[in-house]
Amino acid sequence: MTAPLLSIRDLVVNFHGQGAPRTLIDHVSVDLAEGEILGLVGESGSGKSLLCRAVMGLLPSRRLMIDGGLVALWGRDLVKASPADMLAVRGREIGMIFQNPTSHLDPVMKIGDQIAEGIRFHQGASAREAREAAVEILRQVGFPDPARQYDNYPHEFSGGMRQRAMIAAALSCRPKILIADEPTTALDVTIQAQILELLLDLRERLGLSVILITHDLGIVAQTCDRIAVMRDGKLVEQGPKRQVLRAPKHDYTRMLIGSHPSLPAGNIAKPCNVGPAVRQKERPLLEIDDLHVRFDTGGSLFRPGRKTVSAVKGVSLQVMPGDAIGIVGESGSGKSTLARAILGLVPLSSGHIAFDGVDIAQQPRKALAKLRRETAMVFQDPLNALNPRLTVGETLGEVLKIHGTPVAEIPGRINELLDLVHLGREFAGRKPRSMSGGQCQRVGIARALAVNPRLIIADECVAALDVTIQKQIVDLFAELKARMNLTLLFIAHDLAIVRNLCERVLVMYHGEIVEEGLSADIFARPQRPYTAALIDAVPDIDPDKKLLAPKTDVEPAAA
Amino acid sequence: MHRYKFVLYRPLQFLPVLFGISIITFVLVRLIPGDPARVLLGTRATPTAIARIREQYGLDEPLWLQYFYFIQNLGRGEMGKSILYKIDVLRLIATRIEPTLMLVITSVVLSILIALPMSAIAARRQGRLPDQAVRVVSTMGIGFPPFWLALMLIIFFSVKLDLFPVSGYGNTLPEKLWHLALPSLTVALSLSAVVTRSLRAAMIHSLRSDVATAARARGMPESIVFWRHVLPNSLVPTINLLAVNIGWLIGGTVIVESVFALPGMGQLLVRAIFSRDYMVVQGVAMVFACATVLINFLADIITVTVDPRVKL
């Protein structure tokens, strides 16, 4: 191997608050070779983003300070570089892209101007030259009509195109190193695959070296050459991708690999219920018949000509008691609208929903009362779904009280619920702010269980969590399902999770169910090309199961 | 350009708004206790003389008929005759509108000139001495009543330093601006305080935003980050605040014009109220209301221009 392009040695970052400084990055040493993709893996709070901010000289607070070590770029120590020197390093030698392109692009500036800005500043180009260069970069990152799209604003693009624009802005001055901080976490799997493909392609064409921060080992396995695993500010393990994935040395790495949802097919949830012959005698708990939900958009008093958008088009579904059904699809596929329709939160345009034999459209008051007593929802963002002013005990107590639990029994029930979701009883006195995302989501589940629901709808309830936490929550659902005979509608864009938890799967696309069946069948033999594409887009943890069509060999040229 | 379509149809919505304003001002003015004819003729007027004046100005008609005449006159571009000045109210207002308009424009320009650098300095040095100073000054600006501030400015700049005139209005533009210096400074000191607080908070938020981080990661120096990203993103909430405050300011000119003896609409309004000059009070109130509506319309146009996401 040649000398590393970027070399981080014994880097220490401390937080200087009141009292003794707290160490957030603890003597981390890692190298990035030329043309290499380094995967930086770890949970949120492990310091992987902070490490890259430190390299860029962009620590988010004045109280964070680099207290030791060096960052060598072509033999120059960036830690000691002056602010003026760092301006030249950022954008020109190291580019950076972020998790959320929507919040990182300037909403009031044309997308092309945000790219041209750097070219003008760093290369002293004229306005016209910069525009031409920016149009060329937009073309390279996959904008179909860059000359025209230069003048569009970020909100006029989809999430995937926004991430492409971010990449274009980061690469506008031809940096040699790209730091990508969770670049695909906010995107759908199919879009994620496209963005990863673009990164690999750009690496080839521009000779980039990439540090890819992610919590998804599947992405690492598919794209990176080497892996560095971080935990609590320390680098616990690093090495070539295959070596780390096959023979992890550290317990934590083993746990990360173990939590990855795309593991062998042995995990697939089996239909734990009785066979279909017996089940047909039961009455379905939830029956949906040719459901349509349409929204009016645009138009006003003075401007007729409103448009109708169909979010759900002709969905039919039967849910038996004890079923666990996964609903998968990309954003915009109508899966959340379907869930909201089931709970009576959006008006139905046509079709029927019957819960336990009561039709929502025909007997709305009775059905809604019944629904709200006997169903519960678990939300995507666990922290924002909890009232920050209430303690966990108060949150649960409130639900119990509304549902008529005698006051004397409430404390006991709260303890039971906390036991069920494996939270210590002392959590009753804590507030959401002082809890982690996984703990908040456990409270969210406990709150759902408080009503003794016959149906739980979980809308993307693990999407915001780290993989290890995801696995714990999914395991919790599986356990509760077995113990309490819960009926579960599990909405997710992550197919692997659905496969491990649900025996039946519905695939939604543009408001329609395009495929449905047993999880095992669908994942093994998808009938529709869309389902197949969705499954193929999931990055597998096995580096030999290629994510992308074998168009180019993604292995780096021998160094 | 379809985002600007509202410029065409929004004025249609003004019609019901103005109709409502006209009813309210008309009725409210007539709720003021006192009789304009009696005020005009003095305490020793005979009942027949008062009746004649009332008949002459249509004050003996039923209320709804008076309103009907009022609207009819509006259609002809008239607002009725002032009892005190004996000319049509609209023509009267036309002679008085210029000083007020000039006062509002100079105050707004001045307060933006004060607020922009103050909030920029404060936001970029948050928590440090310049920031603390700006916060103290802007709290004081909000706290001091304008009439007191006006007197202090007169004492200092006019009486002690003899830099600006104490009162009145000039004939040529430089003369006018010279006379307006202290009145507009009075208004600007309060207005800029409100704007500074809002703008400072918005800028601090933007400086920490992902947009700023991304720009810094592209190697943009802090000055570009600030002027090209932070400032435009901070303006949107401030534009609406400014619009609301300009509406309030137009009513507030009454005090400032009185203190500085500016021959504007505020002064006209004060005299009209004391002499129960109904027609003038309702005319001025109408003009103030229209101006407020217009300014908010203007603010909407600016908002749409600054923020490409906004659709109206």
Give me the average pLDDT of each 10-residue run along chain A (559 residues).
82 86 89 91 84 88 86 87 88 89 90 92 89 92 90 88 91 91 84 90 90 88 90 90 89 86 50 45 82 73 62 87 88 84 84 85 82 86 86 91 87 90 88 84 90 88 80 86 86 82 88 87 86 82 66 37
Mutation pick from A52, A86, A104, A108 vs chain B, by most beta carbons of B within 10 Å, is: A108
**Mind telling me how many Å the CA of B185 is from chain A's nearest CA?**
33
CATH of residue A461:
3.40.50.300
* Residue A353 bridge partners (DSSP): A288
Kindly list the residues from chain B whose CB atom is less than 8 angstroms away from the CB atom of residue A55.
none
In a domain, residue A548? The reply is no
Asked whether the beta carbons of residue A96 and residue B220 sit closer than 8 angstroms, the reply is no
Asked whether the beta carbons of residue A302 and residue B12 sit closer than 8 angstroms, the reply is yes
Q: Are residues A65 and A107 in the same domain?
A: no
In a domain, residue A4? The reply is yes
Q: Are residues A373 and A483 in the same domain?
A: yes
**What residue ranges in A175-285 does DSSP mark as E strands?**
177-181, 209-214, 226-231, 234-240
A 160-199 → B contacts, CB under 8 A: 166, 169-170, 172-173
Cβ–Cβ contact A105 with B under 8 A: yes
Domains delineated in chain B? 95-306 (1.10.3720.10)
Sheet harboring A76-77: ordered strands across? A22-32, A6-15, A64-73, A76-77
**Mind telling me how many Å the CA of B27 is from chain A's nearest CA?**
30
Kindly list the residues from chain A whose CB atom is less than 8 angstroms away from the CB atom of residue B209.
103
Q: Are residues A310 and A456 in the same domain?
A: yes
**Mind telling me how many Å the CA of B195 is from chain A's nearest CA?**
21
Q: Are residues A32 and A140 in the same domain?
A: no
Report pLDDT digits (tens) over B5-53: 888 888 888 888 888 888 888 888 777 777 777 777 777 778 888 888 7
The pLDDT of residue A554? 37
In a domain, residue A493? The reply is yes
Partner-chain residue, chosen from A104, A173, A303, that has the shortest CB–CB distance to B211? A104
Q: Are residues A278 and A253 in the same domain?
A: no
Q: What are phi and psi of B34, to 5 degrees?
A: 115, 160
Structure tokens, B35: 């009789």
Count of CB atoms situated within 10 Å of the CB of A185: 16
The pLDDT of residue A306? 58
Q: How many beta-carbon pairs under 8 angstroms link A with B?
A: 88
In a domain, residue A558? The reply is no
Residue A468: give the domain boundaries. Answer: 267-298+306-348+359-536
In a domain, residue A551? The reply is no
The pLDDT of residue A558? 36
Cβ–Cβ contact A89 with B under 8 A: yes
- For residue A171, the chain B residue with the least C-alpha distance is B218
Asked whether the beta carbons of residue A109 and residue B224 sit closer than 8 angstroms, the reply is no
Percent of chain B surpassing pLDDT 70: 100
The pLDDT of residue B1? 56
Partner-chain residue, chosen from B217, B220, B224, that has the shortest CB–CB distance to A96? B217
Q: Are residues A375 and A468 in the same domain?
A: yes
Q: What is the DSSP letter of B262?
A: -
Kindly list the residues from chain A whose CB atom is less than 8 angstroms away from the CB atom of residue B229.
106, 109
The pLDDT of residue A281? 57
Between CA B52 and CA B46 the distance in angstroms is: 10
Residue in A47, A42, A100, A44 with CA at minimum distance from that of residue A217: A42
Between CA B264 and CA B246 the distance in angstroms is: 16
Q: Could you give the count of Cα atoms lying within 13 Å of A327 in the half-sphere of its Cβ?
A: 28
Asked whether the beta carbons of residue B232 and residue A108 sit closer than 8 angstroms, the reply is yes
How many helices (H) and strands (E) would you count in chain A?
21, 20
Q: Are A489 and A460 in contact (CB under 8 A)?
A: no
Q: Are residues A133 and A215 in the same domain?
A: no
Q: Are residues A335 and A450 in the same domain?
A: yes
How high is the ipTM of this complex?
A: 0.78
H or E stretch covering A277: helix A276-279
Between CA A331 and CA A313 the distance in angstroms is: 16
Q: Are A489 and A453 in contact (CB under 8 A)?
A: no
Q: Are residues A466 and A391 in the same domain?
A: yes
Partner-chain residue, chosen from A104, A118, A169, that has the shortest CB–CB distance to B213? A104
**Which of A131, A147, A174 is the endpoint of a domain?**
A174
Q: Are A348 and A360 in contact (CB under 8 A)?
A: yes
Q: What are phi and psi of B20, to 5 degrees?
A: -60, -45
Q: Are residues A412 and A505 in the same domain?
A: yes
Q: Please report the sign of the dihedral spanned by the C-alpha atoms of residue A46, residue A47, residue A52, residue A53.
A: positive
**Mind telling me how many Å the CA of B310 is from chain A's nearest CA?**
10
Asked whether the beta carbons of residue B219 and residue A92 sit closer than 8 angstroms, the reply is yes
**Mind telling me how many Å the CA of A118 is from chain B's nearest CA?**
6
- For residue A169, the chain B residue with the least C-alpha distance is B218
Kindly list the residues from chain B whose CB atom is less than 8 angstroms away from the CB atom of residue A172.
218
Count of CB atoms situated within 10 Å of the CB of A19: 6
Which pTM was predicted? 0.79
Torsion of CA B242, B243, B244, B250, to 10 degrees: 100
Between CA A230 and CA A237 the distance in angstroms is: 7
In a domain, residue A32? The reply is yes
The domain tally of chain A equals 3
Q: Please report the sign of the dihedral spanned by the C-alpha atoms of residue B216, residue B221, residue B222, residue B223.
A: negative
Between CA A368 and CA A345 the distance in angstroms is: 10
Distance of CA B237 to the CA centre of its chain: 19
**Which of A153, A174, A195 is the endpoint of a domain?**
A174
In a domain, residue A545? The reply is no
What is the phi-psi region of residue A10: left when phi exceeds 0, alpha when psi lies from -120 to 50, beta otherwise? left
- Consecutive 10-residue averages of pLDDT for chain B (312 residues): 79 85 83 73 78 79 84 80 82 88 91 92 89 89 85 86 81 85 89 91 91 91 91 89 85 83 87 82 86 88 87 74
In a domain, residue A374? The reply is yes
Sheet harboring A504-509: ordered strands across? A375-378, A455-459, A487-492, A324-328, A504-509, A512-518
Q: Are residues A164 and A194 in the same domain?
A: no
Between CA A71 and CA A10 the distance in angstroms is: 9
Classify residue B173 as exposed, middle or buried by CB count within 10 Å of its CB (0-12, 13-18, 19+): exposed
The pLDDT of residue A169? 92
Kindly list the residues from chain B whose CB atom is less than 8 angstroms away from the CB atom of residue A100.
210
Q: Are residues A391 and A403 in the same domain?
A: yes
Partner-chain residue, chosen from A90, A103, A108, that has the shortest CB–CB distance to B210? A103
Report pLDDT digits (tens) over B77-116: 777 778 778 888 888 888 888 888 889 999 999 999 999 9
Between CA B27 and CA B30 the distance in angstroms is: 5
